Amino acid sequence: MSVLLQFSLISHIFLGLLGIILFYAVLMVLFKPIDFKRIKFLRRVSLLGLISFLSSWILGGYYYVVYYGNIVKPLIKKSAYPWAHSIFMEAKEHIFLFLPFAALVAVLIFYILGEELEQKQAIKKTVIILSSLIVILGAIMALTGIIISGAARLR
């Protein structure tokens, strides 16, 4: 694996995790009353989370197209764990798409509504559910990544 590909893989993992951690922080703050200071935090952190997910998507895509598709995928399919690709990677390729768009919705809500979010409790509850979904899906993506990597027995 070239240095660029190693960098892509590691960055894909860390940026994805960073996105999850940032939305975890968003979730924790959403349980408190929203004031000016907290809405500033929510806007910045959710935007950083969105950028992390988008960057992870691009780097993961590069790694997949340049290396995983041609080298790793055939190895996994020939190994004792072909389901690691056919079930988990295939699922991951589709489910992950929810993350950046759900993150975008959260960012837009924080920027458009601002402190008004505290008066609109129904929308606030929805954003809490949305952020929880982002964190849960993100965790599932991270864990499926472990399953897929584990099947790539190169030796």
Partner 1 sequence: MSFLSINSIAHIISAIIGTGAATAEEILYFKDIRDGKIDEAEARHLRITYKIMHWSLIILVLTGFGILAGVRIKYGGTKTFYSPVLWAKYTIVLVLLANAVLIAARKMPMKWAGSLSLTSWYAAFALGRITEKTREIKWLADFLSKFNFVELYLITMVCYILAVAIVAIILNYLKKIIIKKQ
Token pair 């998507």 in the structure block, residue = 57
Map residues 123-152 to x or -, x wherever contact with partner 1 holds by CB under 8 A.
---------x------x--xx--xx-xxxx
Kindly tell me which of 108 and 122 has the beta carbon lying closer to partner 1: 122
Tokens of 6: 């190693």
- Say whether residue 36 binds partner 1 (CB under 8 A): no
Of 31, 36, 94, 112, the residue at the interface with partner 1 (CB under 8 A) is 31
- Say whether residue 6 binds partner 1 (CB under 8 A): yes
Of 15, 23, 24, 64, the residue at the interface with partner 1 (CB under 8 A) is 24
Torsion of CA 20, 24, 29, 32, to 10 degrees: 140
> Is 22:52 a contact under the CB 8 Å cutoff?
yes
Token pair 């759900």 in the structure block, residue = 102
